[in-house]
Amino acid sequence: MKKDLLTINDLTVKEIQELFSLTDKLKKNKAKFGKTLFGKTLVLIFQKPSNRTRVSFEVGMFQLGGNSLYLAPNEINLGIRESIADVARTLSRYVDGIVIRTFEHKNCLELAKEATVPVINGLSDFSHPCQALADLYTVKEKLKVLKGLTLAYVGDGNNVCNSLLFICAKLGVNMNVGCPKGYEPDAAVLKDAKAAAEASGAGINLFNDAFSAVKAADVIYTDVWASMGQEDEAAKRKEAFRGFQVNKNLVESAKANVLIMHCLPAHRGEEITDDVLNSQNAVIFDEAENRMHVQKAVLIKLLGR
């Protein structure tokens, strides 16, 4: 039976731990896995522009001995030129796996429903599971443990925030979310995360103040205030998020050696300042690199059968 990765909730705690363990092995000995997906082909359907997601999947697939094929937004016109169901059924006859980077999460769900090969969510407006896996893997790599740590997310309650809530709750990481009123994570997401946190012993807390969110945090995480598709809200959001910038003053309210994280691309001088982004505490490019390593582990687990 095929398995998809559409949200972090598609993975059990054991499966996440197995992915992290495999990622360790992939980082230590790249050559050992050079033929793992030999003869396999991955197709990337992208409705949004990308740097890290496209390059990390294409290079990762190459390093595993497989092939990848990129389909730009105007090549398929998913759901317009051709129905999502027909695209899924057709591509399933050609390839061994599909990555979709889209706006509406329902596109991921429909594609996965109709495809007979694994579907991986490379980003939707609801979820960014590969990013969250890379983020928590990076925290574990740097701090050696996860359970009992506190991650403070400062900014918009968006897809990245949703995925971090799910994975932190599962892995026993406390998560404080600092958002302006009206920009909090979806209530259903918070409810699900708190339910998972009860089992792991984690705490999920919501604040409308950035300084309260980062107090005693081991990690401070931020993202752009206006995501792709929200460009017309940029000016309004810039005003709403005043006071939620990750700057030196805010960072000093957390632990002395707090890790600074950002999924990139960053709008320097808006949600995060240059001095913080370039500081020794920032592990931003480590998490960007780890996107590839974690995704290679995901590809092996889903396609290597």
As annotated, the active-site residues are: 101, 128, 131, 223, 263, 291
Burial 132-161 (b: 16+ CB within 10 A, else e): bbbbbbbbbbeeeebeebbbbbbbbbbbbb
- Render the chain in DSSP notation, one character per residue: ----BSSGGGS-HHHHHHHHHHHHHHHH-TGGGTTTTTT-EEEEEESS--SHHHHHHHHHHHHTT-EEEEE-HHHH-BTTTB-HHHHHHHHHTT-SEEEEE-SSHHHHHHHHHH-SS-EEEEE-SS--HHHHHHHHHHHHHHHS--TT-EEEEES---HHHHHHHHHHHHHT-EEEEE--TT-PPPHHHHHHHHHHHHHHT--EEEES-HHHHHTT-SEEEE--SS-TT-GGGHHHHHHHTTT--B-HHHHTTS-TT-EEEE-S---BTTTB-HHHHTSTTB-HHHHHHHHHHHHHHHHHHHH--
CB atoms within 10 A of CB 65: 14
159 phi and psi, to 5 degrees? -65, -40
